[in-house]
Amino acid sequence: MPMTLAEKILAAHCGRQEVAAGEFVEADVDLVLANDITAPLAIKEFRRIGVPAVFNRERIALVCDHFTPNKDIASAIQCQEVRRFAREQGIVHFYDVGRVGIEHALLPEQGLVLPGDLVVGADSHTCTYGALGAFATGMGSTDIAVAMATGKVWLLVPESALFRFEGQLRRWVTGKDLILHIIGDIGVDGALYQAMEFTGGTVAQLSMDSRFTMANMAIEAGAKAGLFAPDERTREYVVPRARRPYRLLESDPGARYVQVKEYRAEDIPLLVARPHLPSNVAPAQSLSEIPIDQVVIGSCTNGRLEDLRVAAQLLRGRKVHPYVRCIVIPATQAIYLQAVREGLVDIFVEAGAAVSTPTCGPCLGGHMGVLAPGERAVSTTNRNFVGRMGDRTSEVYLAGPAVAAASAVLGRIATPEELC
C-alpha cells in the first residue's frame, strides 16, 4: 500500500510495515518536549503515575522560554519547578536563561530533532519540526507526562493533505506569506487533524528558515503536523548538527491525499493576517492606511537569522517611527551572537529598536511588549486572536519580517517598496 510521509514515519515508530489513516496506534517517541508553562503540569502528572524515573533522560527536552527571564514571582516558581525536576531526573537537555532559545528554533539548531523522528511536545507549535521531515505534534501535558514515563504515545493516524507551489517567488516574499496564503485559502480548520505536506518546485528552493516558518503555522490551519520531505537543503542543515542516526523518508507515488491544493508562487504578494484570525488575510499594500503602535520581529515563527537579516536590510540607515515601539527578539543565543557578529544588532539599535534576549514573551501577551487598550501591532508571530498580545481591545496584524520592518519605519502597515 502506498503511504504518505506521515504514515511512513508513524509506521516506522510502531514497528509495522504500514499504517493507514484512521487507525489508532501506539508509537515510540524520539523526543518529548515541554516548556516553563506546560512542564509543571506534566511534572505533576508524571509524579501521579508513580514511576521513579523518566524513560530516557537524553530523549526529553525542558526549555524555559515563555516567561523568561522571569517576569514575576509566579513565573519564577514555574521555572524553579522545572529546574528541580531536571536536576532530580538528570535531564540532559535542560535549557535555562543564558543558554536557552525559543524552543522550536533551539531544538533543531541543537540537532535534537532529526528527519524521520516522532516528536511530541506540550506546545501546539511543536509541528515546526516537520520542516526537517519529522512527524512532530503538540499534545496536552497529561499525554506528555505519560510519554516522559513510558517513551510511548497513542494517536490517530491522520489523513494527509498536499500543498504544491510552483513558480518563482516575488521579491521579499517568504515562507510566511506562503503559509498565510494557504490558511487564507482553506481557513483555520481547513486541515483539521490532517498532516499538511508541502511540496513543489518553489518549496524546493525555500531556505530551511522559511520551511520552519511554514511548518510552524500548520497548526493555524488545524493540522496535526506540517511536513517537508527531506532534500539536499535538509541534509546540509542536519549533517553538522545530528547527534544520532536518522531516517530520510518521503511519500510513495500513488499515496492517498484527502485534498490537493496547487498554487503559483508569482501570484502571492506580501500578505498580512488581520485581526482576529490567521485566515483573515489581505495583501499588505491594501492595508497602508492602518496606523500601528508596535512591531515585534521574532518568535518561533520568524526569529531566525534569515528574518533578522531581512529586517536589518530595511532598517539600515533608517529610524523607527517616533510613535512606534520596535522589538527585535533573536530566537536563540546562537542566532543572537551571529546577529552581533554580522552587525545586525548595531543596525537595530541605531534605528531605535529594542533587542531582547530569546523569549516567547510578547507572542502570548506575557511580557516584553504587552499591548495596551486599543493599540495595534504588526508582529511576525503566529496568532492574532482577541487579546493574544495584551488587552482584549488591542489588535495584532501578522506579517513577515519585510512588512514588519517597513511598518516600523513608516508607522503604519507598509511594504518594503514604500521605503525605496
Q: Is the confidence at residue 11, as pLDDT, over 90? A: yes
* Structure confidence by residue, pLDDT tens digits, 223-234: 999 999 999 999
Determine the Cα–Cα distance for residues 410 and 417; give it in Å rounded to an integer: 12
- Work out the pLDDT band at 127, boundaries 50, 70, 90: very high
pTM score of the predicted model: 0.95
In this structure, what is the dihedral angle of CA atoms 257, 258, 263, 269, given to the nearest 10 degrees?
-130
Please tell me which residue, 307 or 1, carries the higher pLDDT value.
Answer: 307
Give residue 214's pLDDT.
98
Give residue 420's pLDDT.
75
Q: Is the confidence at residue 216, as pLDDT, over 90? A: yes
Determine the Cα–Cα distance for residues 161 and 134; give it in Å rounded to an integer: 16
Average pLDDT of span 124-132 = 97
Give residue 243's pLDDT.
87
CATH of region 272-415, choose from 1.10.730.10, 3.30.950.10, 3.30.499.10, 3.30.1490.20: 3.30.499.10
CB-CB contact of 273 with 179 (8 Å): no
Give alpha helix (H) positions in 151-298.
Answer: 175-186, 201-205, 208-216, 232-238
Do the domains 272-415 and 5-263 match in fold? yes
Determine the Cα–Cα distance for residues 107 and 33; give it in Å rounded to an integer: 9
* Structure confidence by residue, pLDDT tens digits, 331-367: 999 999 999 999 999 999 999 999 999 999 988 888 9
- Work out the pLDDT band at 27, boundaries 50, 70, 90: very high
With b meaning 16 or more CB within 10 Å and e meaning fewer, what string describes 69-86? Answer: bbbeeebeebbebbbebb
Determine the Cα–Cα distance for residues 352 and 295; give it in Å rounded to an integer: 12
Percentage helix, strand, coil for the chain under 3-state DSSP, each rounded to 5: 40, 20, 45
Backbone angles phi, psi at 53, to 5 degrees: -145, 155
Residue 163: name the closest of 38, 268, 280, 303 by CA: 268
Domain ranges of the chain: 5-263, 272-415
Determine the Cα–Cα distance for residues 72 and 65; give it in Å rounded to an integer: 14
Average pLDDT of span 294-305 = 97
Give residue 320's pLDDT.
98
Close Cβ partners of 232 (under 8 Å, ≥ 6 residues apart): none
* CATH of span 5-263: 3.30.499.10
Average pLDDT of span 200-223 = 97
* Structure confidence by residue, pLDDT tens digits, 162-210: 999 999 999 999 999 999 999 999 999 999 999 999 999 999 999 999 9
Task: Give helix 305-315 / helix 333-341 axis angle, nearest 10°.
Answer: 40
Beta bridge partners, 33, equal 61, 121
Share of the chain above pLDDT 70, in %: 100
Q: Is the confidence at residue 309, as pLDDT, over 90? A: yes
Is the bond preceding residue 40 a cis peptide, omega within 30 degrees? no
Q: Is the confidence at residue 219, as pLDDT, over 90? A: yes
Determine the Cα–Cα distance for residues 25 and 79; give it in Å rounded to an integer: 33
Average pLDDT of span 127-147 = 97
Give residue 176's pLDDT.
98
CB-CB contact of 271 with 284 (8 Å): yes
Here the cell at position 241 is 548538527
Give residue 1's pLDDT.
85
Determine the Cα–Cα distance for residues 385 and 365; give it in Å rounded to an integer: 11
